[in-house]
Amino acid sequence: MKTFKWAVITSLLLALVSIVPGHSSAKFQFSDISPSKEYYEQVHYIAELKIVNEADKFNPGDKLKRAHVAKMLVLASNNQNFSAPDMHFKDLKSGTEQYDFASKAVALGFLQKQPDGSFKPNEYIKREEMGYALSKAFKLSEEISVEKPLMLRDMKSHEYAKEINGLYYAGVTQGDAGNFLPNDYLTRSQFALFVARALNDTYKLPVKLPEQTSRTYFAKVVTGGDVLNVRHLPAVTGNVIHKLNDGEIVEVIGQSGDWLVVLVDGKNGYIHGKYTKEVTVDTPSDGDVAIDTPEEEPEVDEPVIEEPEVTEPEEEVDNTPSLSGLVGKVTASSLNIRKTPSTSAAIIGKLSAGQKVEVLSLNGYWAKIKTSSGTGYIHKNYLKLTNQTGNPLKGRIIVIDAGHGGKDPGASSNKLTESTVTLNVAKRVEAKLKKAGAQVLMSRSNNTYLTLEQRTDFAKKNFAETFVSIHVNAAGSTAAKGTEVYYDSSTNPNASESKQLANKIHNSILKGANMVDRGVRDQRFYVIRNNNVAAVLVELGFITNSDDFKKLSSDQYAEIYAEAIYQGLVQYYSAN
């Protein structure tokens, strides 16, 4: 992690070496700030950097003046040697310290000269002007977009909206109950917190992104006959990008306050939740593309979008090594057998749910199987592949998805983030699976950000056979605790297999980690409902519960969780 955004002058480096987050080792202490104050460490941190003067008192509750902001931001951004052009302020004398820092702050664009030619160094500064100055000093301005909507409601029509938006997504401020309070005055302690967060990642606040990991569902527009605007931002000031008629149904993939994130024509937009009602919609599975006939059940065939390219569809081309002792059990009600690995190839037979076949080789999504009349090809997604000898996981393509990451830390408590816990456990699962001979694929192996779509696309691109997403729970009540595992039956064509896998992993975690049983649940989480193989989402425990937190923050239990997930996969692949 890069700790500093700007180089700090050489004379300060030695002073920084002894600073340990959570335990300030400043050589002095302001007499009017006790260690119990939330800003204690940050104030002494910026004092160590000489951004504020070491003195007997800091006066944390005093209102901040424009002269203070000018000096502190010039120093914090390492611009003390910046050569500012000569300026005339009618209330500042050239050659003074206040003039020097004021002229630099104005020339750098942090603060503005007053219309009457004054600087007003002793005027108290409001949060709006401070926010603008801080954003400019640390280059934190952030355009308001669907990906980074304005989360502070009272800034939606403000001239500094994008600057304050930048502070929010940089972890500098979360405002007060969803508002920034631009016209309030700022105290010295508040500004110290902001500057420390801008300088050092240790002090940053976790960024709360619009909800994108919750279940997805369908909502019906209920307006009493009026049209409903779809906007590009979660606010009435957002541009209208589409209109929905009363009674129309849309898919909801997230939420930002009272606004719902919906998919319209393949793009994200926002509608106000007040004018919607959740509904149940039957959606055909991605693989159900064969034509129904009155005489037979719907067939499951290979999805066209995932069809391997074959230059000569009438001729078998298979250079993959043959397999020994691999059996596939059909998981669809009816599965076509093709002459060659192509959706346009002739159908030479059909298989029924539960039927087992000998698998001769695998090539991408295609499984070459032995039939009574020779060989044929079927789509691998609708087979549960089991080894008849050796480790049941050998050769299986398993995606381990560590939830959250990067700019999305997930739930947090006592400086422990969900993204850290999930990656720790995921890497341990990876090691165990590799040792067993599985082809294990990690959606992320470091602290990077991935969208939900990127995670499911990754699984499909790599011909995954199972998908396990690892998460940590959180709740408003500290009493909530325990493990729960989810599968999806709304659109995932392998819902039955997903449920079996969920039960195996769930029971293994309960036994291994002695967790409270919160059950196996059917829910429309994005990464499992948009998968077409056995896919589960594991909630290890509640980071907001003291008992679960002790386990989630422990490497010993990270190993126990990983072993439990591994054993759950072993049990799933061992079952016929």
| Mean pLDDT within 272-287 | 64
Among the listed residues 313, 286, 281, the one whose alpha carbon sits nearest the alpha carbon of residue 300: 286
- Decide if pLDDT at 23 tops 70: no
pTM for the full predicted model: 0.56
Separation of CA 80 from chain center: 38
Q: Which residues contact 264 (CB under 8 A, 6 or more apart)?
A: 230, 241, 242, 244, 250
| pLDDT-based confidence at residue 210 (cuts at 50, 70, 90) | low
Model pLDDT for residues 284-320, shown as the tens digit of each residue: 333 322 322 222 333 444 433 333 332 223 333 444 4
Q: Which two tokens stand for residue 283?
A: 């959606």
CA-to-CA distance for 68 and 187, rounded, in angstroms?
A: 11
Domains 217-279 and 304-387 share a fold: yes
Q: Does the pLDDT at position 411 exceed 50?
A: yes
- Whole-number pLDDT of residue 129: 95
* Structural contact between residues 172 and 141, judged by C-beta atoms closer than 8 angstroms: no
Greater pLDDT, 459 or 474? 459
Q: Does an H or E element contain 499, and which?
A: helix 495-513
pLDDT of 30 higher than 50: yes
| pLDDT(213) > 70 | no
Average pLDDT over residues 22-46: 80
Per-residue pLDDT at 215: 53
Range list of β-strands (E), 316-414: 326-330, 334-338, 347-352, 356-363, 366-371, 374-379, 383-387, 397-402, 412-413
Mean pLDDT across 98-120: 95
CA distance 185 to 187: 7
User: What count of Cα atoms within 13 Å lies in the side-chain half-sphere of residue 559?
Assistant: 3
Q: Which of helix, strand or coil describes residue 382? A: helix
- Answer yes or no: is pLDDT of 182 > 90: yes
- pLDDT at position 537 is 95
Spell out the domain ranges in the chain: 10-203, 217-279, 304-387, 397-574
Secondary element (H or E) of residue 17:
helix 10-17
| Secondary structure element (H or E) that encloses residue 104, with its range | helix 97-107
Q: Are 423 and 437 in contact (CB under 8 A)?
A: no
506-562 residue pLDDT tens: 999 999 999 999 999 988 888 998 899 999 999 999 998 999 999 999 999 999 999
Is residue 180's pLDDT more than 80?
yes
Establish how many alpha carbons lie within 13 A of residue 474's alpha carbon, considering only the half-sphere containing its beta carbon: 14
- How would CATH label the architecture of 217-279? Roll (2.30)
So what's the architecture of 397-574 in CATH?
3-Layer(aba) Sandwich (3.40)
If one counts every other C-beta atom within 10 angstroms of the C-beta of residue 66, the result is: 22
Whether the CA torsion 518, 524, 528, 533 is positive or negative: it is positive
- Residue 13: partners with Cβ closer than 8 Å, 6 or more residues away: none
User: What is the tens place of the pLDDT at every residue in 324-359?
Assistant: 789 999 999 999 999 999 888 999 999 999 999 999
pLDDT, mean over the chain: 84
CA distance 256 to 261: 7
Question: How far is CA 112 from each of CA 51, 120, 133, 326, rounded to the nearest angstrom?
Answer: 21, 10, 9, 73
Q: What is the torsion angle, in degrees rounded to the nearest 10, for the CA atoms of residue 178, residue 184, residue 186 and residue 189?
A: -50
Phi, psi of 138 (to 5 degrees): -110, 10
Contacts of 372 (CB under 8 A, 6+ apart): none
What does each C-alpha distance from 473 to 476, 490, 556, 561 come to in angstroms? 11, 22, 19, 14
pLDDT of residue 147: 64
CA dihedral of 305, 309, 312, 318, whole degrees rounded to 10: -120
Q: Which pLDDT value is given to residue 323? A: 65
CB 508, CB 572: distance < 8 Å: no
Task: Return the CATH class of domain 304-387.
Answer: mainly beta
Q: How far apart are CA 348 and CA 345, in angstroms?
A: 9
According to the model, what pLDDT value does residue 343 have?
Answer: 87
- Residue 422 one-letter amino acid: T
The three-point CA angle 560-564-566 to 5° equals 115
